[in-house]
């Protein structure tokens, strides 16, 4: 399985602490899946990229959206494991533009995922998502990182 963590907007500065934390967790995820981070300047550029991705199966876009589905960490791990086991090759988790996803983009997402009702800066949302991906993989692997609290 390949994971791409996307954000729409400007590139992060090299010393951006949230981006460094995101990369730390994505690096940890490498033990379980190929992971990368990608930035797109616009929603349209992102959707075009998704449509052009090669593969035996289509890309599985997960759009972060406050109106989306909320899951606890164990539930997210179970969901991610089901996708992995159903042969999803490439999952893309995307933090949208500052103004939110358009209706057209939201319809293209296979899952709208909410990190909760609070508004987070995009850099922090990416770091939280990267940590939750790592946590999900450790739960699936039976690793003691997740203690269940």
Per-residue model confidence as pLDDT tens digits over 71-121: 999 999 999 999 999 989 999 999 999 899 999 999 999 999 999 989 899
Q: Worst-scoring range by mean pLDDT, 25-29, 34-38, 56-60?
A: 56-60
Secondary structure, 3-state, 121-147: CHHHHHHHHHHHHHHHHHHHHCCCCCC
Domains defined along the chain, listed by start: 2-141 (3.40.1280.10)
Crossing angle of helices 73-85 and 122-141, rounded to 10°: 70
**Residue 111 DSSP symbol:** E
How many residues appear in the chain? 149
Q: Could you give the strand order of the β-sheet that contains 111-113, starting from the edge strand earlier in sequence?
A: 34-40, 2-8, 90-95, 60-69, 111-113
For 107, the token pair is 């319809």
């Amino acid at each position: 399985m390949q994971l791409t963590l996307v954000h729409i907007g400007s590139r992060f500065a090299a010393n951006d602490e949230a981006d460094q934390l995101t990369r730390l967790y994505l690096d940890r995820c490498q033990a379980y899946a190929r992971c990368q981070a990608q930035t797109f300047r616009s929603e349209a550029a992102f959707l075009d990229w998704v449509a052009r991705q090669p593969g035996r199966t289509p890309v599985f876009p997960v759009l972060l959206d406050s109106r989306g589905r909320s899951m606890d960490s164990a539930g997210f791990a179970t969901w991610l494991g089901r996708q992995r086991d159903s042969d999803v090759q490439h999952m893309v988790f995307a933090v949208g533009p500052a103004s939110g996803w358009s209706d057209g983009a939201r319809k293209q997402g296979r899952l709208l995922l909410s990190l909760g009702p609070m508004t987070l800066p995009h850099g922090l949302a990416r770091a939280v998502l990267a940590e939750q991906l790592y946590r999900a993989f450790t739960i699936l692997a039976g690793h003691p990182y997740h203690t269940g609290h």
